[in-house]
Structure formats: C-alpha cells, structure tokens
Amino acid sequence: MMHWARLERRVPRARCTRRRQAQRVGAALALAIALGFAPGGLAAQESPSVRARLSGVVFDSLAMRPLARAVVQLVSAREATQARSVETGENGAFAFDSVQAGTYLLGFYHALIDSLGITPPLVRVDVRTSGDLRAPLAVPSAFTLRTALCGPRAISDSLGVFVGFVRSAVDGLTRPKSTVKVQWSEITIGGEGIQRVTPSVQGETSEVGGVAICGVPMGGTVMLHAWNATDSSGFAELEVPSTGLLRRDLFVGPSRAVSLRDSTADSTGITTTVLRGNGVLRGVVRRPDGEPLEGARLTFWGSGVEVATTSTGAYRMQELPAGTYTMEARALGFLPQRHAIDIMEGNETVTDLRLESFGTYLDTVKVTAKRVFASREMRDFEERRKRGFGTFLDEDDIEKRNPFFMADLLRMTPGVQVIPGQFGSRILMRGMGFSAFCYPAVFIDGMKVMNVDGDIDAFVNVQEIRAMEVYPRGGSVPVQFQTLDGCGSLVIWTGGRRPKYEAPKKK
C-alpha cells in the first residue's frame, strides 16, 4: 500500500507504457478494495455536470509546519485508472480542479513517510455537488506514532522511540537483520556520591532494514551504534526531541583496525585501537557572522583523526571509516558542536559548520571587585600545595595551558597517561605494578564520581574548572581523597575563572 503514490510520482502520465499503466491501475484498485470499495458495488455518478474543486494542505505534525513537495494523489474508487496527482508548494497547499461527482481516495507520498516506515494516510472523499471542498492531510503526530509503536505504557512512562533504517555505506541499500543499540548516561547523586550508569536498549532491523526501538529517554542525548556482520557504524550522538520521536538512518560500512600510541607515552605505555578506512570528510568552519574560523579543532570519534582549520576555515580529514560517526568541533570562545556524519565508502563527504559564540559582552561596561577572603576549599587547596605532594593547577596555570579538553590540561603531567578513546581521550595513572595503568579516582568539589572509562570530559567541562590537584600514586593521596584500588586521584574544583585585572596605565 506504500507504492501507489510512489509509482505515480516516478512515471509521468503522458509517457506511461501499457505495462506501467497496468501496474498503477492494479495498485490503485488494490487500495480501493482494501478500504471496502468494490468496483461493482459503487453507486453510479450522480451527475456528469458536477464539477468541484478539491483543495487542502498537507501538514507535517512532527515538525509542526506545512509539508512541501509532497505528491498528493486523487484516485477514483470506481475507476482506478482515473488517478490525478499534484505536488504541494512551499506552503503545503494542493488543489484539484474539475473533480467529477463520485467517491475518491485521497492520499500523499513523501520521503518523510518512507523514512518512518508507515503506510501513507488515506482519506475517503465523496463529491456530490459542485463547489469548493476542503480535505486536509497530515503526517501522524509523534504522540500517535509512539502509541502505535510502543503502546500506551510508553506514553504514561514518558519514554521515547527511535525509528530508522540501517543502510550500507557502500551502496546505500538497506541492511536487513542488522542490530542497533541505543545507550545513554544517567548520573545519580546518593549516599555513595555521584554515580554514572549507562542503560541501553537494542533491536534488530526487519526484512526491509527498518527498526523501531522503544524506551529511550525523552529530551536527552543518546549514543547509537549499528552493526551487520563485519560492517558497523561508529557511535552517533543524537538528541531525542521533546516529542519523544527520534528519526534517523544509520550507515554501516567496512573499516580496518589500527593500533595507535600516544606520542607522550613512555616505553611501557599502552596502545589503543582505532578504526580507519577510505572515506574523506572536508568542509569549512565559520563564525556566527559567516567569516572563516581559523584554528578550530575537529575530532572524528573512533578514528584517532584530529585536524585544525586553516586561515580560510577549511579542514580535510582522510582515511576515515565508512558509516555513521560523530565529529566534534571546538574553538576557543565558541560553543562546541557534535554532529553525526555519514561517511560513504571511497567517497568524499562535505560538511560545513557555523560555531556559535559563548555570548555577547558589552565592552562599555566594566565591573571590578576585590577578593576579601578565599573559600574554605581554596584555603585547603593552598595548604595541600605547600606540602609538596602531587601536581597543583590554579587559575593562572589553567589559563596558561588554554585547554579545550581535559587531555590538554593533563598532557605532560608527571605520572599521567593520555590516550585516545572511542568518545575522546582517556586519562590513566600508574597502578600498583611496574607497567600497569588504571583509571584514577575522580573527586569533583569534594564528592567522589564513578569513573568507569577514564573519560573525564563526560563529568565536567574544562572551561568550568577553577583548580585541580593531581595525585598520580596512591601513597601521596590525602586521606580524604584516598580509595582502595591503589590508583591515584584527580581532585577537581569548579567555578568561574577570573581574568587578571590590570590597572590602567598612567598617562
């Protein structure tokens, strides 16, 4: 039932061959029979002189706007060969003039309907008199789709659904029997401190390559990963809309594993495995005003590939694995962005970005203040620094390093290893053995954080760090920051860093 509108769209009526016309007639007739309209059981047209105008608007209930370039079809339920089609304009409007008396089926087709994997909605129209008739059409709402796919319990529990197709990054065709996993992070605060868990749900695509996975959090960020045999995607970070319906296709493709070792690691440092391929990604990064942005850093998750933009804002990444992956862009003074990118095997993908500024500041307004006393945490910080154990970074030290990531802040710190990971860099410290490394205990503002993968950027934005204490060995850790695993500790104090105040020069 999904092909009748698609067939009319592909084959202009003036050029129909007999075979194609028979196929179109058969599809329209099948629709009529499916809705209970048998050709022999219809009443005769009331009057051949009746001429009506049928119009309406196709509305996208997901995006809450009219749906442009939708193919609307009007098929006679009495004579399936009597089919007319028009395309909606930018305002979603359509109209059929000189419609004779009779019973009709009205429907539409759009790529959006195909991506949702649903049957095009149909409306029965009875034309009996001349004049203007209105027949609005709409894409089902997210509420309707969630209820149909996940049942009423998903609505009561405020859970969302992911809908999409898994496709090959080689030829773009759908991949049946693929597995899709959706996972996300949840942080809980309790008696044992701050703990992070990563719930997940997964499903398998149907024979046509589509999948619907219920139970994802509404209004949050999720990671999607798909695989089929030896082909896979990377981790794609996506936002679940507040409507609870996340729709996107995922591409899986071939890749090769490559072992990388951080250039700052010593001879006993550990290596990490990344994925490489034949894909190329290029584009231009611009400021909010459209001017090129030089020096922006772009990282392709899971590949170990990181580049910086040139003076023209251009960037180019090579040897990328095929499939859907996440690219992250950062620049000093601009909000970081993450985008899910589809890399096709052996092809070049073009993605231009525009980074947004952190905010607008009024140069004519200057506020200065004098610190009367330091907080208790900062006083204790200074006391521990005087004892000489560990490495201490205050506001001035952090500003000098000008960090984008935690890796920038901790790289070259004695006793700390920084290695590339699936979502970014991982932080490790020397363990109990001579060559063993482990994830350090992490304390943020005095509260212990559950650190299961060494990804410190997942807990705190480096721009919000005011001071930091690094204890690479368990024996040097103060008692309040000690753990039983024998690894070191990383103590982070947050708060806005204050720029140095410079007194105006005397003239």
Q: What pLDDT is attached to residue 38?
A: 36
pLDDT at 346 over 60: yes
Domain 256-354, architecture per CATH: Sandwich (2.60)
Q: Within 346-489, where are the H helices?
A: 376-387, 395-401, 406-410
CATH 2.170.130.10 fits 376-494, yes or no: yes
Strand (E) or helix (H) holding 73: strand 71-76
Q: Residues of CATH 2.60.40.1120 domain(s) within the chain?
A: 142-252
If pLDDT is split at 50, 70 and 90, which confidence band does 10 have? very low
Q: Residue 83 contacts by C-beta under 8 Å, 6 or more apart in sequence?
A: 8, 24, 28, 73, 74, 75, 76
Provide the pairing of β-strand 272-276 with 256-260: antiparallel
Q: What pLDDT is attached to residue 271?
A: 65
**pLDDT tens profile 21-76:** 333 333 333 333 333 333 333 343 456 678 899 999 999 988 889 999 999 999 98
Q: Is this structure's pTM higher than 0.85?
A: no
pLDDT at 459 over 60: yes
**pLDDT tens profile 203-232:** 999 999 999 999 998 888 899 999 999 999
Average pLDDT, the chain: 79
Q: What pLDDT is attached to residue 401?
A: 81
Share of the chain above pLDDT 70, in %: 78
Give me the sign of the Cα torsion angle 100, 105, 107, 109.
Answer: negative
The fold of the 142-252 domain, in CATH, is Immunoglobulin-like (2.60.40)
Annotate 431-461 with b (16+ C-beta within 10 A) or e (fewer): beeeeebbbbbbbbeeebbebeebbbbbbbe
Provide the pairing of β-strand 353-354 with 279-286: parallel
Q: Residues of CATH 2.60.40.10 domain(s) within the chain?
A: 3-139, 256-354
Give 39-42 contacts, CB < 8 A, sequence gap 24+. 39/78, 39/79, 39/80, 42/77, 42/78, 42/102, 42/103
The fold of the 3-139 domain, in CATH, is Immunoglobulin-like (2.60.40)
**pLDDT tens profile 348-373:** 999 999 999 876 544 555 555 545 44
